[in-house]
Amino acid sequence: MSRADFHVHTPLCHHASGWPVEFARRAVELGLEELGFADHNPMPAPFDDWRMDLADLPRYLDAVAEARALFPQLPIRLGLECDYLPGREKWIEELAGMAPWDFFIGSVHYLPEGWDVDNPKHLARHSGNAEEIWQSYWLTYQRCIRSGLFDFVGHPDLPKKFGYRPDGDLRRFYEPSIQALADTGLAFEINTAGLRKPCREAYPAVPFLQLARTAGVPVLINSDAHAVDELGSHFGDATALALEAGYTEVARFTQRQRRMVPLAPTAAGSA
Ligand code: ZN
Ligand code: FE
Ligand code: FE
Ligand code: ZN
C-alpha cells in the first residue's frame, strides 16, 4: 500500500482542522513513511475565504518546522496546493522563491469564467451545465499542466464532485490532459477525497488512470486531508485502483525533485 500522503491541509486555510504536529503524530501511528503538507496557496492580495493569508506564510513554515522537530523519524515535506489562474503565473514563480519548498501541486478550482467549481455555494450552477463546465475546466487543466510551475497536478476530474458529469465517454476530456502530462513529465494524484464527496469515487475516474498508465504518467496517492482523521483515508482502495491500472510505483518529492518508490511490496508481510 502506498505509504506517503502528499496532500494535507492546515487550519491556516480557514477550513481545515489539525496542525502539522497532529498530522505528523497520526502519520507515525498509521506507519506512513513520508508526509507532505500542501495548504492552499496565499495570494498577493485578498482573494477568497478558503486559503492561507500571505501574512500567515511564516506561521505555516514554523508549524511544519515544529512537526519536523517533534517527529525527526518522519520525513516531512513542505509544499503548497497552488491555484492555477491563467494570467497569474508570475505569482506562483514568486511564491517558489519564498521558502525551501519540496513540491507544488497545481490545482484548478477556478474556471476562467471566475467561479470555483468545487465550492458548494455554487452548487446550483452545475445542474444541466456539465458539458460546458467540463470543457472549460479541462482546457484550464491542460494549461495548468503545461505551465511548468508545478510538480504534480491535483484531483484531475474535480468538476464531478457533486455528481454531475457530461453524457457519453468522458475520455474525450481526459486525453488532451494526459497528453500534456506525458509531454511535460508531470505526475498526477489519485485523490481519495472524492470518495468522501457526493460523486463517491476517487479523483480521477478509472478510465483516466488506465490512459495515464498507458502513457507512462507517474502517479501519487493522496488523501487531501482537511482533518487528522482523513489522513491516509481509503489508501487501500486507491492502491487497488492503481495496481489494477498497472501501476507498480508511486512518486514522492524532495526539493522539487521526483523519486519513484514501489507501490506494493513484492514480498508478503511488510508495508
Ligand atoms: Zn481545501
Ligand atoms: Fe483542491
Ligand atoms: Fe487540497
Ligand atoms: Zn485539493
Q: Which tens digits make up the pLDDT trace of 208-224? A: 999 999 999 999 999 99
**Is the pLDDT confidence value at 29 over 50?**
yes
Distance between CA atoms of 31 and 22, rounded to whole angstroms? 14
Give tens-digit pLDDT for 170-220: 999 999 999 999 999 999 999 999 999 999 999 999 999 999 999 999 999
Residue given cell 511535460 in the structure block: 184
Q: What DSSP line would sit under 114-143, residue for residue?
A: S-BTT-GGGGGGTTT-HHHHHHHHHHHHHH
Of 132-146, 154-168, 253-267, the one with minimum mean pLDDT is 253-267
Residue 267: predicted pLDDT: 46
> To the nearest whole percent, how much of the chain has pLDDT over 70?
97
pLDDT of residue 265: 58
Ligand 2 center from residue 253 Cα (angstroms): 18
Q: Which pLDDT score, from 0 to 100, does residue 1 have?
A: 84
Strand partners, 77: 36
Q: How many of the other CB atoms lie within 10 Å of CB of 93?
A: 11
List the domain boundaries for the chain: 4-262
For residue 204, say if its preceding peptide bond is cis, omega within 30 degrees of 0. Answer: yes
**CA gap 72, 180 in Å, rounded:** 37
What pTM did the predictor assign?
0.96
Classify domain 4-262 at the CATH class level: alpha beta
The neighbouring-strand residues paired with 143 are none
The ligand placed nearest to the CA atom of residue 8 is: 3
For residue 72 the three cell numbers come to 525527526
255 three-class SS:
coil
DSSP assignment, residue 265? -
CA 19 from centroid of its chain's CA atoms: 18
Mean pLDDT of the chain: 96
Residue 213's pLDDT is 98
List CB-based neighbours of ion ligand 4 within 5 Å. 154, 224
Task: List, for residues 75-87, the tens digit of each pLDDT value.
Answer: 999 999 999 999 9
For residue 265, report the distance from its CA to the centre of ligand 3, in Å.
Answer: 28
For 48-104, how does the pLDDT look when each residue is reduced to its tens digit (9 = 90+)? 999 999 999 999 999 999 999 999 999 999 999 999 999 999 999 999 999 999 999
- d(Cα 153, Cα 9) in Å, to the nearest integer? 16
- Would you state the cell numbers that stand for residue 53, as one nine-digit string? 493569508
Amino acid at 162: F
Distance 155 CA to ligand 3 centre (A): 8
Distance between CA 121 and CA 118 in Å, rounded? 9
